[in-house]
Structure 1
Amino acid sequence: MDRAGLGIMLRVLSGMLFTGMLVCVKLLSDTVPLGQIVFFRSLFALIPIVVFLAWRKEFPAGLATRRPLGHVLRSGLGAAAMFASFAAVARLPVAETTLLAQLSPVIMALGGVVLLGERLSLHRVAALGLALTGVLVLVLPGLGDGTGQASGYVLGVVSAVLTAGALLTVRRISRTETAGAIAFYFVLTSALAGLATLPLGWPSVTTEQLLLLVLAGLFGGAAHIAMTLALRFAEASRLAPFEYIALIWPVLVDLLLFGLPLSTGFVLALPLIVAGAVLAALEGRRFRRPTRQ
């Protein structure tokens, strides 16, 4: 298997692992507070990340940083995105939460224009148009249903915006910072943010709940590693079309595990949002200008 094929396999694996994490979070969301979930998810995600860094001989030397404030901004945005994403999956099907996360590449492409002086091309405008149309198709039928679905959509979009901001920050600091350091400080910050909610009250967890919390962290950390390796072995433009495959697992989970049928809005929004995300990724690869310091 060539490097590109290995990268594609790792991208598909990362999608499966990410879905596994969201399943654990959704199963916990009715009984375990959000901050407690974020803490344990982040704490146990440190295990595969530290093992991976040690395997690459980057721990602890690879954690040295020349951009501490950059890490603070990236980690803060990422931690806030995690809170919003987990709150969204508590209110929405896993597939819809995952679909809304596909807005991040589009928002990131536009952020590159506004914040980094990149080119505003027809491709980026088309990507935005497709993504926004998809969001409207997905969201409008669920507005005003009184089930919390509307707030879930808002949280999903907020998470995508925060994730895009975090990724734009990564683009700036990755010139001097290693991927391992960026991942480590993000997970550490998220754990501390979750721990800060302890005074609000954390209930004791059962053995089953603890297992789900551990699995959420291990799945999340492993998903990050798989995505990091995928981007090492294959260009982002080669991986972008496989966003469709990454959405198969959440759909199957909703149908087979949670017994949730696919909504008409999801079916119609799926090609629009993913096409916008793929177009943004492909365009960004071809036309991205050097960023300004």
Structure 2
Amino acid sequence: MLKDRHPALVAAFWMTGALFSFMAMAVSGRELSQDLTTFQILFFRSLIGVLLIGALVARSGWAQLKTNRAGGHLMRNIAHFGGQYGWFYGLAFIPLAEVIAIEFTTPIWTALLAWMVLGERLTLPRLTALVFGISGLLLILRPGMGSLHPAALAVLAGAVGYAISYIQTKSLSASETPLCILFYMTMMQLPFGLVPSLMDWKTPELNSLPWILLVAVTAMSAHYCMARAFKLADATVVVPMDFMRLPLIAVVGYLFYEEVIDLPVALGAGLMLAGNLINIRAEQRKAPLRTEALKAPRSPE
């Protein structure tokens, strides 16, 4: 039984589910891009998501959906929708491994935004991660070398959108439940995808329906599995496993689409991963110090 296992081992089990979910979502997104527009993919993803999240909310209670922060939800979902659009658009035109590698710049933009918006400190490890991350990004994109595909810029813009949504999620989580945030995500993003889809509507073929179902279900299962993993283990255990997405998706791209990951992409991704790991290790070392500080007796005022 999983409950009798070490928490880190159970977290690894959940992260395995997340990794397979992300890979399945990438493949289904690539397959659907041959017949549907990116807006249609996002519309169907949200439509099925509304049904899935609605069922979960019905079991846990509708009262949690009451909110005074509609503006915050709207801001988060505009940014998140932009992030998703860039990611799925990129899947149609550039190698899967390159999409994932560029997506790994999200922590860079999140750290910058947290510094500018939330006032969080830019410590030396965080600055190191930023320098490594930007250097890795330049290796992958190779500006001025004549090999920059517009879809790569779309994925990069999507990574910035994800970073904005993460900052807004951190703010919303102080008063909203995770299901509340997910419910408004699917409800708000449903018309975001529907309206532009109607302008260039393509009725899905019957053989596209399994891919539509897969992209929607794996979108939810990936984030659910990651949330369960983070609840059981520290970031130093979970995040390095998430980095496995890059080599795994490179294998998937090679096997299914005959994609070969080139050396600059591999080196750039390695730099970004190294920077993230340096930052994570530094944050982990600071955690015991914070715990000891909380335990220390306070002098009377």
Q: What TM-score do you get using the length of structure 2 for normalisation?
A: 0.87
Aligned counterparts of 2:61 and 2:272: Cα–Cα separation in 1: 38
Which residue in the other structure is 1:204 paired with? 203
Of residues 24, 35, 58, the one that matches 2:39 is 35
In structure 2, give the amino acid aligned to 1:90: A
Is the Cα–Cα contact under 8 Å of residues 37 and 197 in structure 2 kept in the other structure?
no
- Return the offset for 1:38: 0.7
Deviates more, 1:66-75 or 1:32-41: 66-75
In structure 1, give the amino acid aligned to 2:246: L
Gap regions ≥5 residues in structure 2: 291-301
- Return the offset for 1:194: 0.6
Of residues 138, 141, 146, the one that matches 2:140 is 138
Q: Where does 1:44-63 land on structure 2 (aligned, <5 Å)?
A: 44-54=48-58, 57-63=59-65
Q: Where does 1:1-293 land on structure 2 (aligned, <5 Å)?
A: 1-54=5-58, 57-140=59-142, 143-145=145-147, 150-283=149-282
Change beyond 3 A, Cα 1:47–1:229: farther
Q: Highest Rg: 1 or 2?
A: 2
Is the Cα–Cα contact under 8 Å of residues 46 and 221 in structure 1 kept in the other structure?
no
Deviates more, 1:180-189 or 1:70-79: 180-189
Gap regions ≥5 residues in structure 1: none
SS at match of 1:162: helix
Aligned counterparts of 2:207 and 2:144: Cα–Cα separation in 1: 32
SS at match of 1:91: coil
In structure 2, give the amino acid aligned to 1:112: A
CA-based RMSD: 2.2
In structure 1, give the amino acid aligned to 2:72: G
Change beyond 3 A, Cα 1:2–1:132: same
Aligned counterparts of 1:47 and 1:4: Cα–Cα separation in 2: 32
Question: Percent sequence identity over matched residues?
Answer: 26
SS at match of 2:258: coil
Is the Cα–Cα contact under 8 Å of residues 114 and 167 in structure 2 kept in the other structure?
yes
- Return the offset for 1:143: 4.7
Q: How many residues align?
A: 284
Q: What TM-score do you get using the length of structure 1 for normalisation?
A: 0.89
In structure 1, give the amino acid aligned to 2:14: L
In structure 1, give the amino acid aligned to 2:197: L
